[in-house]
Amino acid sequence: MLFAMAEHLELPRPCRLMLTAGWNLAESLGLPVAGYFIGAQFGGRDAGMIAATAVVWLTVIGRKVFTRSVPGLLTISALVLTLQTAVVIATGSMLFFLLQFPLANLGLCVLFARTAPTRKPLVAQLAAEVVALRNPSQHPGLHRFFQGATWLWAGIFAASTIGLAVLMATETVKVFLLLTTAVTIGGTVAGTFLSALWFFRVLHRFGLRVRFAAS
């Protein structure tokens, strides 16, 4: 018999859950975006990219110094921004500026695929950090889900890489940038929906329940 029939997963209370998720998103997305706009305001696109990268790495250093750990989402943001900034600054050409988008997706594909077969798949780490899901991969069935979901996201980023490369070769710059936004949003929404649907099916299969923490 599966030992999980009486088990449950624990989330923080709704207010704390929103605070935890919001703080992680602000660190990894909000601060770099703010840095980009401030830098671009004073020195153009390149200065904005450098400012965004500097902000995210300062956040990584601050996390390491004060908490001795760096969230996975923040690490992803730092690596992707560094790759994009290096491509943009080193070349200065429009072609390589556009190339940063498929390259960023390729980097994410490799990052997710590298952790998928391990004992710490990236989706499990993100679930623990972004929504504070407690011990998300101790249960063997859940661990297999997090490995599979990590492979799913690796596949989504691989498909996005191929799609963006094709669009870059066939479309104008304006159309490419619009379609890049659509591909990014569409891939994220599809991945989130499929992951959530798969997650709840796994919970039902193993008799697991999600509850809010007492404090």
Query: Residue 137 in contact with residue 124, Cβ under 8 Å?
Result: yes
For residue 212, give the H/E element and its range.
Answer: strand 209-212
Model pTM greater than 0.75?
no
For residue 10, give the H/E element and its range.
Answer: strand 8-11
The model's pLDDT over 128-182, given as tens digits with 9 standing for 90+, comes to 877 777 765 567 788 899 999 999 999 999 999 999 999 888 888 788 878 888 8
pLDDT of residue 158: 94
Specify the 3-state DSSP secondary structure of 106: helix
Query: Residue 122 in contact with residue 150, Cβ under 8 Å?
Result: yes
pLDDT of residue 44: 85
Q: What are phi and psi of 69, to 5 degrees?
A: -150, 150
Residues of the chain under the 70 pLDDT cut: 1-8, 12, 14, 17, 92-96, 135-138, 213-215
Query: Residue 93 in contact with residue 142, Cβ under 8 Å?
Result: no
Taking the CA atoms of residue 75, residue 79, residue 82 and residue 85 in that order, the dihedral angle to the nearest 10 degrees is -110
pLDDT of residue 124: 87
Query: Residue 104 in contact with residue 80, Cβ under 8 Å?
Result: yes
Pick from 152, 148, 182, 156: nearest CA to 167: 182
